[in-house]
Amino acid sequence: MSDIELINACLVNDRKAQEQLYRQYFPKMIAMCFRYTTDREKAMTIVNDGFLKVFTKLDSFNHQGSFEGWIRRIVFNALSDYFKKENRYLKFMILEDRDKPTKEVNSDKLYYEDLLEMVKELPNATQKVFRLYAIEGFNHREIAEQLCISQGTSKWHLSEARKKLKELIYQENRSIQNAG
């Protein structure tokens, strides 16, 4: 079935077409979620929430751009919504009160998605520790066990992540100010 035939069949509630759509796009969507969480249960919840939204909003697909891209955007929004709901403290985790930044850092104009993109710029090990701690809620002992590192190393990576993210937020704010 082509995407258009699949969409039309799903719009009339054809269960087999819905299953085909899900099976066809599931591998790419779950892979995208695994870039943000290593927890299989969370990833499945996010993907399933995303596909529920795909099916309920299917009539709004206007056939401009790729269908896969449209699905990807909806699943990414489900991912973002999940972490916004579960981890409202992410910005505060990066910019805790006890920190005295040497430069003005304002995260009010940044969106959650922007912060997640900045996390991707961190070195791999630092990114893993930050994601496990700030996004997935593991403590340093659990992270140390999971990554086969010491708790002190986990704390160091978290500290480095926060420093680098503050600098990236500062740079982004400068770009916004200069553009405005």
Torsional sign, CA 49, 51, 56, 59: positive
Evaluate the CA torsion angle 77, 78, 84, 87 in order and state its sign. negative
Claim: this prediction has a pTM higher than 0.95? no
In whole numbers, what is the pLDDT of the chain averaged over residues?
Answer: 81
Residue 112: is its pLDDT beyond 70? no
Please name each of the domains of the chain with its CATH number.
3-86 (1.10.1740.10), 91-179 (1.10.10.10)
- Which of the residue ranges 51-60, 131-140, 162-171 has the most confident prediction, judged by mean pLDDT? 51-60
What six digits make up the tokens of 31? 């892979």
pLDDT tens, 67-105? Answer: 988 998 899 888 878 877 765 545 544 544 344 444 444
Q: At what angle do helices 15-34 and 40-57 cross, to 10 degrees?
A: 140
Q: What is the mean pLDDT of residues 129-138?
A: 78
